[in-house]
Copies of this chain bind each other. A is one copy, B any other.
Amino acid sequence: MSEVAIELFALRGFDNVTVEEIAAVVGVSARSFHRYFPTKEDAVIGDVGPWGEFVRDQFAARSPSEPLWESLHAAFDGLLASSGEQGEREKRGLRVLASTASLRARHREKHALWEKLLIPLVESRLAEPDVALRSRVIVQAAVACFDTALAVWATPGETRSSRELLAIAFDQFDTMGEI
Protein backbone atom coordinates (compact mmCIF):
# COMPACT_ATOMS: atom_id res chain seq x y z
CA MET A 1 0.00 0.00 0.00
CA SER A 2 2.79 2.34 0.91
CA GLU A 3 4.44 1.82 -2.46
CA VAL A 4 1.31 2.70 -4.35
CA ALA A 5 0.97 5.83 -2.27
CA ILE A 6 4.54 6.88 -2.93
CA GLU A 7 4.12 6.27 -6.65
CA LEU A 8 1.02 8.42 -6.78
CA PHE A 9 2.57 11.15 -4.66
CA ALA A 10 5.68 11.20 -6.82
CA LEU A 11 3.52 11.48 -9.90
CA ARG A 12 0.99 14.08 -8.82
CA GLY A 13 2.20 15.59 -5.58
CA PHE A 14 1.32 14.68 -2.04
CA ASP A 15 -1.43 17.23 -1.66
CA ASN A 16 -3.12 16.28 -4.92
CA VAL A 17 -3.74 12.66 -4.07
CA THR A 18 -6.47 11.82 -1.60
CA VAL A 19 -6.57 8.94 0.79
CA GLU A 20 -9.69 7.72 -1.00
CA GLU A 21 -7.79 7.52 -4.27
CA ILE A 22 -4.92 5.56 -2.83
CA ALA A 23 -7.31 3.19 -1.16
CA ALA A 24 -9.24 2.70 -4.39
CA VAL A 25 -6.12 1.88 -6.35
CA VAL A 26 -5.07 -0.63 -3.74
CA GLY A 27 -8.56 -2.05 -3.49
CA VAL A 28 -9.41 -1.29 0.10
CA SER A 29 -11.54 1.34 1.78
CA ALA A 30 -10.25 4.59 3.15
CA ARG A 31 -11.18 3.32 6.57
CA SER A 32 -8.78 0.44 6.11
CA PHE A 33 -6.08 2.77 4.89
CA HIS A 34 -6.38 4.54 8.20
CA ARG A 35 -6.08 1.27 10.02
CA TYR A 36 -2.66 0.84 8.52
CA PHE A 37 -1.48 4.42 8.59
CA PRO A 38 -2.42 6.76 11.40
CA THR A 39 -2.02 9.71 9.08
CA LYS A 40 -1.68 10.21 5.36
CA GLU A 41 1.96 11.18 5.86
CA ASP A 42 2.69 7.86 7.48
CA ALA A 43 2.11 6.15 4.16
CA VAL A 44 5.37 7.74 3.08
CA ILE A 45 7.24 7.91 6.32
CA GLY A 46 6.26 4.55 7.69
CA ASP A 47 7.05 3.44 11.20
CA VAL A 48 10.53 4.61 11.99
CA GLY A 49 10.32 3.60 15.64
CA PRO A 50 12.33 0.36 15.29
CA TRP A 51 15.11 2.14 13.45
CA GLY A 52 15.43 4.62 16.26
CA GLU A 53 15.69 1.77 18.71
CA PHE A 54 18.32 0.19 16.53
CA VAL A 55 20.38 3.38 16.53
CA ARG A 56 20.03 3.62 20.28
CA ASP A 57 21.21 0.06 20.71
CA GLN A 58 24.13 0.67 18.38
CA PHE A 59 25.07 3.72 20.40
CA ALA A 60 24.69 1.89 23.70
CA ALA A 61 27.08 -0.77 22.46
CA ARG A 62 29.88 1.74 21.82
CA SER A 63 32.66 2.07 24.32
CA PRO A 64 32.00 4.87 26.82
CA SER A 65 35.55 6.07 26.39
CA GLU A 66 35.09 6.59 22.68
CA PRO A 67 34.55 10.20 21.69
CA LEU A 68 30.85 10.91 21.88
CA TRP A 69 30.43 12.27 18.38
CA GLU A 70 32.25 9.30 17.00
CA SER A 71 29.87 6.98 18.82
CA LEU A 72 26.88 8.81 17.41
CA HIS A 73 28.31 8.65 13.93
CA ALA A 74 28.96 4.95 14.29
CA ALA A 75 25.43 4.34 15.52
CA PHE A 76 23.80 6.04 12.55
CA ASP A 77 26.32 4.49 10.21
CA GLY A 78 25.40 1.13 11.66
CA LEU A 79 21.81 1.74 10.69
CA LEU A 80 22.78 2.52 7.11
CA ALA A 81 25.08 -0.47 6.97
CA SER A 82 22.38 -2.81 8.20
CA SER A 83 19.94 -1.50 5.63
CA GLY A 84 22.21 -2.76 2.89
CA GLU A 85 22.49 -1.20 -0.51
CA GLN A 86 19.39 0.71 -1.32
CA GLY A 87 18.28 1.94 -4.63
CA GLU A 88 15.91 3.91 -6.69
CA ARG A 89 12.83 2.95 -4.74
CA GLU A 90 14.17 4.32 -1.50
CA LYS A 91 15.42 7.41 -3.27
CA ARG A 92 12.00 8.09 -4.65
CA GLY A 93 10.46 7.81 -1.21
CA LEU A 94 12.99 10.28 0.13
CA ARG A 95 12.30 12.64 -2.75
CA VAL A 96 8.59 12.54 -2.07
CA LEU A 97 9.42 13.24 1.54
CA ALA A 98 11.41 16.29 0.56
CA SER A 99 8.73 17.56 -1.79
CA THR A 100 6.13 18.77 0.68
CA ALA A 101 6.53 20.88 3.75
CA SER A 102 4.02 18.97 5.83
CA LEU A 103 5.76 15.70 5.06
CA ARG A 104 9.14 17.06 5.96
CA ALA A 105 7.81 18.45 9.18
CA ARG A 106 6.06 15.28 10.17
CA HIS A 107 9.15 13.30 9.30
CA ARG A 108 11.18 15.46 11.56
CA GLU A 109 8.63 15.07 14.28
CA LYS A 110 8.95 11.33 14.01
CA HIS A 111 12.68 11.65 14.35
CA ALA A 112 12.10 13.51 17.54
CA LEU A 113 11.22 10.12 18.95
CA TRP A 114 14.73 9.00 18.09
CA GLU A 115 16.02 11.97 19.96
CA LYS A 116 14.05 10.89 23.00
CA LEU A 117 15.77 7.52 22.88
CA LEU A 118 19.25 8.88 22.43
CA ILE A 119 19.26 11.87 24.73
CA PRO A 120 19.39 9.92 28.01
CA LEU A 121 22.36 7.91 26.73
CA VAL A 122 24.18 11.02 25.61
CA GLU A 123 23.41 12.66 28.93
CA SER A 124 25.14 9.84 30.75
CA ARG A 125 28.21 10.43 28.61
CA LEU A 126 28.43 14.12 29.44
CA ALA A 127 29.69 15.87 32.52
CA GLU A 128 27.80 18.82 34.05
CA PRO A 129 26.98 21.60 33.58
CA ASP A 130 23.88 21.80 31.45
CA VAL A 131 23.81 18.19 30.44
CA ALA A 132 20.13 18.33 29.53
CA LEU A 133 20.51 21.27 27.17
CA ARG A 134 23.76 20.13 25.61
CA SER A 135 22.66 16.57 25.00
CA ARG A 136 19.59 17.84 23.21
CA VAL A 137 21.50 19.98 20.74
CA ILE A 138 24.08 17.25 20.17
CA VAL A 139 21.46 14.64 19.38
CA GLN A 140 19.54 17.03 17.18
CA ALA A 141 22.69 17.78 15.23
CA ALA A 142 23.32 14.07 14.79
CA VAL A 143 19.79 13.46 13.53
CA ALA A 144 20.18 16.43 11.20
CA CYS A 145 23.36 14.87 9.80
CA PHE A 146 21.51 11.64 9.17
CA ASP A 147 18.49 13.25 7.53
CA THR A 148 20.54 15.59 5.43
CA ALA A 149 22.90 12.86 4.27
CA LEU A 150 19.91 10.84 3.11
CA ALA A 151 18.28 13.82 1.46
CA VAL A 152 21.45 14.60 -0.46
CA TRP A 153 21.87 10.95 -1.34
CA ALA A 154 18.38 11.01 -2.88
CA THR A 155 19.00 14.05 -5.05
CA PRO A 156 19.16 13.18 -8.74
CA GLY A 157 22.69 12.74 -9.96
CA GLU A 158 24.20 11.88 -6.63
CA THR A 159 26.40 8.80 -6.92
CA ARG A 160 28.03 8.59 -3.53
CA SER A 161 26.72 6.20 -0.93
CA SER A 162 24.59 7.35 1.97
CA ARG A 163 27.34 6.26 4.31
CA GLU A 164 29.89 8.44 2.58
CA LEU A 165 27.58 11.40 2.82
CA LEU A 166 26.86 10.66 6.45
CA ALA A 167 30.59 10.77 7.15
CA ILE A 168 30.92 14.14 5.46
CA ALA A 169 28.06 15.51 7.51
CA PHE A 170 29.41 14.21 10.80
CA ASP A 171 32.93 15.35 10.01
CA GLN A 172 31.67 18.88 9.67
CA PHE A 173 31.15 19.04 13.42
CA ASP A 174 34.63 17.80 14.23
CA THR A 175 35.98 21.03 12.89
CA MET A 176 33.21 23.39 13.81
CA GLY A 177 35.34 25.39 16.18
CA GLU A 178 37.79 26.06 13.37
CA ILE A 179 35.60 27.53 10.68
Contacts and interface: CB of A to CB of B under 8 A. Distances in A.
**Secondary structure type dominating chain A contacts:** helix
A6 interface: no
Contacts of A176: 69, 138, 173-174, 176-177
A177 B179 contact: no
A149 interface: yes
Nearest to A149: B133
> Copies of this chain, how many?
2
Interface string A131-144: 01110111011001
Contacts of A68: 179
| Interface size range of chain A in the complex | 35 or more
Contacts of A138: 172, 176
20 contacts: A101-B112, A102-B105, A105-B105, A108-B109, A129-B168, A133-B149, A133-B152, A133-B169, A134-B168, A136-B151, A137-B145, A137-B148, A137-B173, A138-B176, A140-B140, A140-B141, A141-B141, A141-B173, A144-B144, A174-B176
Contact of A108 (B108, B132, B148, B174): B108
